[in-house]
Amino acid sequence: MNERVALITGGARGIGRGIALNLAANDWKVAICYRTSQLEAQDVVRTIEKKGGKALAIQCDVSDPAAATQLVQQVECIWGRIDALINGAGPYHRVPLFEETVEGWTEMFNNNLHPIFYLAKAVAPGMKARKSGRIISFSMANADKMEAQPHVTAHYIAKAGVLILTRTLAKILALDGITVNAVSPGFIDSGSAPPGELDGIAKKIPAGYIGEVEDTVQAVRYFLSDEARYVTGANLHVSGGWGV
């Protein structure tokens, strides 16, 4: 497919940045959106353009349904299409459940789950018209186990919701040639973890080490590949066995 276009939320930093740089190096046009990381987003665009790729960065709060829809429309207006939607934005915080605030609780759903619905609804018409498209969202490696999570409760519930939404979207969009899948990382050294959080974690991972951004990038590349054309509704763990 020529002139493939990817829209990546959270593409300014960490895993999203890694995906953006990899796709651009493989002849994708890349649109990243950011909420506050303007300098990092501009750096991604400069890095891609220096290597001859095409990229743009758009400030957008995708927790706002109108803004999310406008983001999709803006990318489609500039480049004519969106072939892949990669939902990479997903902040979290660690706090005991009964110390959580209403605002903090709501934030986890507004930023981890709801935007996937808003953006999928906005990109679906164009993908349906072309009978082709890929939607990839990020959950977490143990979200499918429905375990108690006293310190990341809202975030965990939202990530479990991502899996349900992924399977639902996969089912209703399959006839239109659109695949919808989830990537569920474990502990990845992406630069997003608070200082000290990854210390000592490796010994709890069956593989014995913490994953790299490239590990998640390759999972995304698989779901975007022609080899995965018949794979939809899947949840791919990228965790070295943690959370299994």
- Give CB contacts under 8 A, 24+ apart, made by 80-83: 80/3, 80/5, 81/3, 81/5, 81/126, 81/130, 82/5, 82/6, 82/7, 82/31, 82/123, 82/126, 82/127, 82/133, 83/1, 83/4, 83/5, 83/6, 83/127, 83/130, 83/132, 83/133, 83/134
Q: What is the tens place of the pLDDT at every residue in 46-73?
A: 999 999 999 999 999 999 999 999 999 9
Are the CB atoms for 217 and 236 separated by under 8 Å?
A: no
Domain count along the chain: 1
Specify if 243 maps to a domain: no
Query: Residue 181: which of 211, 224, 213 has the closest Cα?
Result: 224
What's the whole-number mean pLDDT along residues 88-115? Answer: 95
Are the CB atoms for 137 and 87 separated by under 8 Å?
A: yes
Query: Which pLDDT score is estimated for 1?
Result: 46
Q: Is the pLDDT of residue 157 over 60?
A: yes
State yes or no: is 156 an active-site residue.
Answer: yes
Query: Which pLDDT score is estimated for 90?
Result: 86
Q: Which of 156, 209, 222, 230 is catalytic?
A: 156
Q: Read off the CATH number of the domain in which 96 is found.
A: 3.40.50.720
Specify if 244 maps to a domain: no
The whole domain housing 231 covers 5-238
- Output the six-digit token pair for 68: 């999310």
